[in-house]
Structure 1
C-alpha cells in the first residue's frame, strides 16, 4: 500500500459507503415502557453473548454488572446470559435491534457483512502491534466505524480484545514470507452454522495464496487428522486454541506468532432501549462500559502471556516475526478488497496505516 496521503475524512468516507450499501439487517418498531421515566424503580437489563461462562469476556461482563450496580446505587440491575442462552448470533442481533435484548457482544466479522467498512479491521496484518491496534480502534477511525451501527438501531460502545490468529507448524520455522512457499496450511472453519459469514475464511484463503502457500479449508474437528497427513505443513489457529490440541502426539514444536488477524468483538447497546434512559443513566452506562472494556483487554492480555509461558515450558518454540514484511507480501489481498469496495475502503486502510 502506498504511504502517500490523500486527505480524506474517515467519518465522511464511512457515511458515503453506508449510503451506497443496502443494509440486510432487519428493522422494526417495538413499543414498550420507558425505563425510569421519572420513577425510582430499578432498571433491569439483559446482556447476551454466545461465549461460554468461563470466557474472559464474560468475566469482564460480571465486572461491568457489579460496577454499574454500585455506581447507580442499585438502580440498574443486570443479568448476564452466556453460552447462547438467548440464541445464536443472528438472534442476538435481532433482539438488540428490536430492544428485546438491551446489551450484547457481537463479532465485528458478523456485522461486516452489512457494514463493509468494518472489513478494514479484519484485513491481514492491518495492525502493526497491540498499541497500534487500540490507537486505531479507540481513536477517530474506530469511533466512526462504531457510529455507523446506529443505522441499524445499534450503539457500538467499544471494541473488545479477542484471540489473535497464528500458525501451528510441523517443522521448519517461518521467519519471512517466502518460507510459506509450497506449504499446505489448514484453515479451520470456526463457525459451521449456515448463518455465519465466511468473510475472514475467504480473507485467510487469499492471504495464504498471496504468501505462496496452499490453503485447505477444514472443519474444526478435523484438525488432528489433517495435521497427521504427510502433505500437510501446518494449521492456522488462535493461540488459545492451540494448547487444547495434543501437541506431542501431533509432533509439532513450532508456533509462528504473527497475529495476522485479531478480529475484535463489539460491546453493543440497543439504541431503542438506550434512548429511553435518562441522560445521567446513559453517561453512567458508558463510563462503566469503558472501564469494563479496559478490564477485559487486560485479562485477555494476561491470559495470552500465560499461554505463551506454557508453550515455552512445554518445549514449544514461539517465533515472533516483524509484521511489516508480511504486510507488504499480502498487498494483492488489499488490492482485491479495494477493487471490491472502491476507493473509500482504500482511504480508510491508508488512514489506519498512518496512525502512529
Structure 2
C-alpha cells in the first residue's frame, strides 16, 4: 500500500512538472504567433484599367505607379494592370469604377463630366494659359472642390494626370481660323468639345480613342481633336494631313478608385497609395510639356502640315468659343461658377 501511495505521489509530481512545461511552451507559441513588426500591409490585389497606348507618358507613369506600390509593400499590395483597353473601353470605364466592377481606373476628365458636370472645367476653351497654372489649380482649392464632387458620386480621385493640351487634326484643309471648320465632321471626346466644334461650324462625332484611326481612314470623319501625343502614337499622320495647334483645352486624366473599396482599405495601404500617386503625378506633369512639344514636331517630320495659331490671333478663336463657357455654367451650376472664378483670379 505504501509502495502504491509513493508511486502515485511520484506520478502526480511528474504530471505537474509536465503541465508547467506545457504551459511555458504555449506561452512561447503565443508570442511567436503575434503579427510581426514588419511592413504590416494586408494582402490585397487591386485591378487597374486604362485605355491609353502603353507608350503614352501617362501610361508609363501609371505602370510605374503599380510597380512602386507592389514593391514598396513587398508584394502584399498587388496592383494588377490592364492596359490599352484590354479590360475596359474609355466609354465603359467610369461605370465600372463606380459599380466596383474594377477597383481602380484611369479615364479623362472629359468623360467624367457626364457624371460630375464640373469636371468639364478642363474642356472650357482657353482658361489655362500654361502648364504650371494647371498644376497649381489641381493641387489647391480648385482640385479639392472637384475631388469632393467626385467622392459624392462614389469615386475617390487619387491622381490628376496631365495629358497636355488638345489640338485639331484633319485631312481636308488647313484650319487657320474658326470659319475654316465649316462643313467638317470632327471626332469629339465629350459634350463640351462637341459644343466647341459646333461653335466653330463643324459637326461633332463622338467615338472612343481606339476607333478614330479607322474612322479617319474610311472618311467617316474628316478630322479629330486629341493631344499630339496620342495623335503620334495612334498614327494620325497616316490618315490626316493638317494639324492646328491652338491649345484650346488642357486635358486631365484621373486615377480614380471605387470609394467603398477605398474606405475599406487599411490606413497603411491608403497612405502608400496616396504617397506613390503624388510622386507619380509630379512626374507625369513634368512630362506633359515635353511630350506636347516633341510629338507635334514629330508629326511635322512625318509629313503633317502644322499651323501654330499666332498668339495675337487667339482672341478670334476665344470669341467664337464663348458660348461653350455659358453651356458649362448651365451644366455645372454653382460649383462650375466657383471653379471658373478660382481660375480667373490667377
In the superposition, the TM-score normalised over structure 2's length comes to: 0.72
Task: Report the equivalent of 2:94.
Answer: 93
Give the corresponding residue for 2:336: 345
Measured at CA, do residues 227 and 321 of structure 1 come closer, stay the same or move farther in structure 2, by a change above 3 Å?
Answer: farther
Question: Which residues of structure 2 form unaligned runs of 5+?
Answer: 1-38
Residue 192 of structure 2 is matched in structure 1 by 200
Confirm or deny that 1:306 pairs with 2:294: yes
| 1:354 partnered with 2:342 | no
1:49-105 superposed Cα distances (whole Å, 9 cap, x missing partner): 223434332221221122223332333221101233333446543443344422211
Deviation string for 1:279-308 (max 9, x for gaps)?
222112101011112222334443333223
Q: Distance in 1 between matches of 2:310 and 2:183?
A: 18
Q: Which has the larger radius of gyration?
A: 2
Residue 319 (1) aligns with residue 319 (2): no
Match of 1:223 in 2: 216
SS in 2 for 1:290: helix
Between the two proteins, the alignment pairs up a number of residues equal to: 296
1:81 and 2:82 matched: yes
- CA drift of 1:125 comes to 1.3
Larger RCO, structures 1/2 (Cα 8 Å, 6+ apart): 1
- Range moving further from structure 2, 281-290 or 334-343: 334-343
CA contact (8 A) 1:187 1:237 kept: no
Q: CA RMSD in A?
A: 3.3
Q: Structure 1 residues 329, 354: CA separation in 2 closer, same or farther (over 3 Å shift)? A: farther
SS at match of 2:115: coil
- Change in Cα spacing, 1:321 to 1:135, as seen in structure 2 (3 Å) is farther
Relative to structure 1, is the Cα distance of residues 187 and 125 closer, same or farther in structure 2, using a 3 angstrom cutoff? farther
Residue 9 of structure 1 aligns with which residue? none
Give the corresponding residue for 2:229. 240
Partner of 2:146: 145
Gaps of 5+ in 1: 1-37, 192-197, 209-213
- Asked if 2 retains the 8 angstrom alpha-carbon contact of 1:49 and 1:104, the reply is yes
Is the contact made by 1:187 and 1:201 (CA closer than 8 Å) also made in structure 2? no
**Shift of residue 147 of structure 1?**
1.5
CA distances 1:298-326 after superposition (whole Å, capped 9, x unpaired): 34443333223324545644414335563
Equivalent position SS for 1:240: helix
Q: Is 1:271 the equivalent of 2:259?
A: yes
Q: Is the 8 A contact 1:98 1:272 kept in 2?
A: no
Residue 258 of structure 1 is matched in structure 2 by 246
